[in-house]
Amino acid sequence: MRQFNFMRGAALVLVAAFSLGTAQAGTISGVLEFTGEVSAIGSGGLDGAVGLSFTNGFITTFADGTFATAGIAAGSTGSLEDFFFDPLSPSPVLSFLTIDFDPGPGKFSFDLEAVEIADQGETFLVLTGTGTLSGTGLGSESYDFAMSIDGFGDLVAFSGVISPTVIPVPGALVLFGSGLMALGLRRRS
């Protein structure tokens, strides 16, 4: 009986430790897909590009999660900062992507912290990277970035996406492990 009470008390302490926390701003979730026109910076076509200059910002093609809750939908517009990716400059690219809530006054802002060339050729360029997405009245989250640039000469278009970075949750692993430990102790008794 004593061991059962101990296990019940230990379980209560674990549940309390992982469920009681500090207050935080709301979290950001969801995917934002966008498209627009771009000019390559560098020699030749896309195969010699070392940077990108965005002529007219971007148009949203898909938004869900917190983006949709903030009123962002297909057709919403935003801005992108010009940058060099070989090497990344400036580093990080602060407010690389910004889009206003609809209706305002808030906005989302994505800081591009790392980028790499996934593939590059005469008429195409694929970039991937990571950064931090924040929103007015919301917290900040790690997000992944991907962009595909296609075209030749002056006819160059891009499509891109930012999506949440998948990070394992240590608290869930501890709870799972403690449950297995409790089962093991229970079997011994």
Condensed to tens digits (0 to 9), the pLDDT of residues 27-46 reads 889 999 999 999 998 877 89
pLDDT tens profile 57-85: 999 999 999 999 999 999 999 999 999 99
Mean pLDDT of the chain: 82
Lowest mean pLDDT among 39-53, 63-77, 129-143, 165-179: 165-179
pTM for this entry = 0.72
DSSP code per residue over 68-107: HHTT--TT-EEEE--EEETTEESSSEEEEEEEE-SSSS-E
User: Residue 7 to residues 20, 118, 138, 182: CA-CA distances in angstroms?
Assistant: 20, 51, 38, 7
User: Residue 175 to residues 7, 8, 12, 148, 172: CA-CA distances in angstroms?
Assistant: 14, 14, 12, 41, 5
Domain ranges of the chain: 28-188
